[in-house]
Chains A and B, each alone.
Chain A
Amino acid sequence: MSDFLYFFTFQDSSIAFVVIGITLLGIGSAYVGTYSFLDKKALLGDAISHAVLPGICLGFMLAGEKNPIYIVTGAFLSGALATFLTSWLKSNTRLSDDAIIASILSIFFGFGVVLLTVIQKSGNPEMAGLNQFIFGNAIAILEEDLYIYGGLAILIIITLTAFRKEFSMLVFNADFGKSIGYPMGAIRLVFNVLMILAVVIGIQAIGVVLMAALLIAPGAAARFWTDKLGKLLLIAGAFSAVSGILGTYVSFVIPQMPTGPWVVVFLSLFAFASFLFAPKKGVLSRFIARKYYLKKTHQDHLLKLIYHGLESGKNSFPIEEIYESFPYRKRQTKHTIDELLKTDLLTLNQGLIDFTSKGKSEAKRIVRLHRLWELYLNEYMNIAPDHVHDSAEKLEHILTPELEALLENRLNYPKLDPHQEAIPRDNDEL
């Protein structure tokens, strides 16, 4: 607890710096990553983040120490080379995208690991810090590094905000942009530079192996919550920043704990929670919607059953007969009858079920939709009368009042369905 308070009250100014840095970094990479996720180029981010490792090592070898300028420049150049090679190979060979990305990723990363081993064998006392670039360590970031990483993050955020309309067009419809004379090639170049920069600023805190997660996961998680670009960017930025801060906290509390994996753990929690609980698109809300729909169809079928009984001359319906009509589903049927009684569609009197007037008109509506649809299939699609029932059985639950009006109009308010049964209207006597 005291660790928690110490960390989150920012008594230590270096912690405040780290938190500011990781927040900026998180927002910046989530912004870039959301665009590349929408552009379906998620894998490119992964390739770039692995491909910066040889640049980091070369920068270290040239400087002889962990100099942020050398390392950032090396990482940027190596990321840029990987990006350039990716598009060059694409236009000059017949290799598929995934083959190109996989090769670039593994070749660059392999080369980087070789360089890293060489540096470790050299016995340079500074090399301890270099391992952190694999999985990241936010706490070890020095204040002077933070100015560089934070500054670059702000540059990314400002550029993306200022050119939002251009980048949106690049992702949505680049051909149209080209047709109105926008330099789409240059805009793509700027975007790629921003993407490489986002990777470069994340390598110290998150590490090259997991940086791609910070690019892609926030946008992918946020996509469950909204269909608006502005909101999408905000939510992605928030997910990313919060995960970044929590990951940093864990690596502050537990010594020797790398930051990157923990940031990814928290990001995954956000993504998983979005996948499960987001309204409309989440698994849970789709599950509930389906449950609700099944319940509704059972109610509809029950009302229809009673209606058919009354239609064939019965005066009332014993409840036991309803149970028998839905064998093996007695519990569900009982539940549905209770619901219908509660919503005032049915009455129950001494074991006999009857409609209320509200229930009768609802039952008529369902039967009407069923029979109208059967007639439509028969008349307009030339489907034989003995083939129309199954389709109507499903569509009676979903046809809207507008479609009902359209069907009535198209069929000219018919009296009988293809089986010569009456199509009931609200004022008709049963």
Chain B
Amino acid sequence: MIINVDSPVLEIHDLTVSYDQSPVLWNVDLSLPAGKLIGILGPNGAGKSTLIKAVMGLIPITGGYVKLFDRELNEVRSRISYVPQRESVDWNFPASVLDVVMMGTYGKLGLFRRPGKKEKKIAMDCLEKVGMQAFVDRQISELSGGQQQRVFIARALAQEADLYLMDEPFAGVDMATETAIFQLLQEMTAAGKTVIVVHHDIHSAMNYFDWIIMLNLHLVASGPKAQVVTEELLRKTYGGKLNLLTKVTDIIRQKDFNPLKS
């Protein structure tokens, strides 16, 4: 069940991605509407993070293309914000909360120029939106997991983008933070922004998202929640490994080259 839309915010065409030798995403083809809260679901190792990394051009793609706002990524970067996984950075880095949130303004600021009063103001406003204004001068090494995640979201808000891609923003956060982040994301979509979230918990996903993408190495489903959340599709997504696909991946890994690369 893959539902396509007219004038999509994000169009992924026949996307194949491999890490070294092993393909991790096979021919993903979908289009997404604007102003929705969209969840990417799938089991561990399904390629959820890989999908948004490929969209952001952070890993090379083996085949296919991605269009954002009907343009190439480089033409519309300032309208897109990416929130990496919280665990992907070293939180012992000597920086304050303000330093990290201010990074959100670097895209518009450009190389070489230093952030000034205007950037600080934006960062402060965004910290307030995530309820972290009291922590502005705190060192990031002293934050809890939930607070770290809020800082990352504040940084994304400081980018003032139209499309947000977030990698596991709910992972390892406390209940209060989860609710606060969810409310914030809802406000953002109500204001016309599109938010795409990699998520691991099916139960909360049912409450959170308007549109759901189900992924397990290949695209199982993409569409409005009411239409795609069926027992059959869930079983296809989570029900055991795709034995055949895994075997093909193994064969490819044993070759000296990747036959999928053109």
Knowing A176-B82, A176-B103 touch, does A232 contact B115 (C-beta < 8 A)?
no
Q: Which of A208-236 contact B (CB under 8 A)?
A: 223, 226-229, 232
Q: Of the 9-residue stretches B28-36, B91-99, B220-228, which lies at the interface with chain A? A: B91-99
A-contact 0/1 string along B72-92, CB 8 Å cutoff? 001001101110100011100
Q: Of the 9-residue stretches B6-14, B105-113, B170-178, which lies at the interface with chain A? A: B105-113
- Distance A162 CA – B155 CA, assembled complex (angstroms): 22
A168 near B95 with CB under 8 A, answer: yes
B111 near A182 with CB under 8 A, answer: yes
A179 near B94 with CB under 8 A, answer: no
Knowing A176-B103, A181-B77, A181-B107 touch, does A226 contact B88 (C-beta < 8 A)?
no
Q: Is B16 interfacial (CB 8 A cutoff)? A: no
A169 near B103 with CB under 8 A, answer: yes
Q: Is A171 interfacial (CB 8 A cutoff)? A: yes
A177 contact set on B, CB distance < 8 A? 106
- Distance A38 CA – B90 CA, assembled complex (angstroms): 9
- B96 — nearest CB in chain A belongs to which residue? A228
B84 near A229 with CB under 8 A, answer: no
- Nearest-neighbour CB distance to chain B for A166, whole angstroms, equals 7
- Distance A324 CA – B57 CA, assembled complex (angstroms): 72
B111 near A227 with CB under 8 A, answer: no
Q: Is B179 interfacial (CB 8 A cutoff)? A: no
A165 contact set on B, CB distance < 8 A? 103, 106, 114-115
- Distance A163 CA – B94 CA, assembled complex (angstroms): 17
Q: Is A382 interfacial (CB 8 A cutoff)? A: no
Quick one: which of A165, A228, A232 has the most chain B CB within 10 A?
A: A165
B112 near A229 with CB under 8 A, answer: no
Knowing A163-B112, A165-B114 touch, does A179 contact B82 (C-beta < 8 A)?
yes
Q: Is B139 interfacial (CB 8 A cutoff)? A: yes
A226 near B77 with CB under 8 A, answer: no
- Distance A163 CA – B113 CA, assembled complex (angstroms): 9
B246 contact set on A, CB distance < 8 A? none
- Nearest-neighbour CB distance to chain B for A19, whole angstroms, equals 30
What bracket does the count of chain B residues touching chain A fall in?
A: 20 to 34
Q: Which of A174-204 contact B (CB under 8 A)?
A: 175-183
A175 interface neighbour in B88, B95, B114, Cβ under 8 Å: B88
A228 contact set on B, CB distance < 8 A? 94, 96, 139
Q: Is B4 interfacial (CB 8 A cutoff)? A: no
A180 interface neighbour in B107, B114, B141, Cβ under 8 Å: B107
- B165 — nearest CB in chain A belongs to which residue? A179
Q: Is B62 interfacial (CB 8 A cutoff)? A: no
Q: Is B194 interfacial (CB 8 A cutoff)? A: no
- Nearest-neighbour CB distance to chain B for A376, whole angstroms, equals 17
A179 interface neighbour in B56, B96, B139, Cβ under 8 Å: B56
B100 contact set on A, CB distance < 8 A? 172
B84 near A175 with CB under 8 A, answer: yes
Q: Is A427 interfacial (CB 8 A cutoff)? A: no
- Distance A296 CA – B262 CA, assembled complex (angstroms): 69
Q: Is B191 interfacial (CB 8 A cutoff)? A: no
- B53 — nearest CB in chain A belongs to which residue? A175
A164 contact set on B, CB distance < 8 A? 114
A172 near B89 with CB under 8 A, answer: yes
- Distance A228 CA – B58 CA, assembled complex (angstroms): 29
- Nearest-neighbour CB distance to chain B for A5, whole angstroms, equals 40
B58 interface neighbour in A162, A179, A223, Cβ under 8 Å: A179
B99 contact set on A, CB distance < 8 A? 168, 229
- Nearest-neighbour CB distance to chain A for B150, whole angstroms, equals 16
- Distance A183 CA – B100 CA, assembled complex (angstroms): 19
Q: Is A349 interfacial (CB 8 A cutoff)? A: no
Quick one: which of A176, A183, A223 has the most chain B CB within 10 A?
A: A176
B106 interface neighbour in A180, A226, A227, A229, Cβ under 8 Å: A180
A171 contact set on B, CB distance < 8 A? 93
A178 near B93 with CB under 8 A, answer: no
A180 near B77 with CB under 8 A, answer: yes
Q: Is B186 interfacial (CB 8 A cutoff)? A: no
Quick one: which of A164, A169, A179, A228 has the most chain B CB within 10 A?
A: A179
- Nearest-neighbour CB distance to chain A for B221, whole angstroms, equals 27
Q: Is B159 interfacial (CB 8 A cutoff)? A: yes
- A169 — nearest CB in chain B belongs to which residue? B103
A176 near B84 with CB under 8 A, answer: yes
Q: Is A412 interfacial (CB 8 A cutoff)? A: no
B112 near A226 with CB under 8 A, answer: no
Q: Is A420 interfacial (CB 8 A cutoff)? A: no
Knowing A179-B56, A179-B58, A180-B159 touch, does A172 contact B93 (C-beta < 8 A)?
yes
B96 contact set on A, CB distance < 8 A? 228
A169 near B106 with CB under 8 A, answer: yes
A173 near B114 with CB under 8 A, answer: no
- Distance A227 CA – B99 CA, assembled complex (angstroms): 12
B84 near A173 with CB under 8 A, answer: yes
Q: List 5 A-B contacts (CB under 8 A).
A: A172-B89, A172-B90, A177-B106, A179-B56, A179-B58
Q: A179-B56, A179-B58 are in contact. List 10 more A-B contacts (CB 8 A).
A: A162-B112, A172-B89, A175-B58, A175-B82, A180-B107, A181-B77, A182-B111, A228-B139, A229-B94, A229-B99
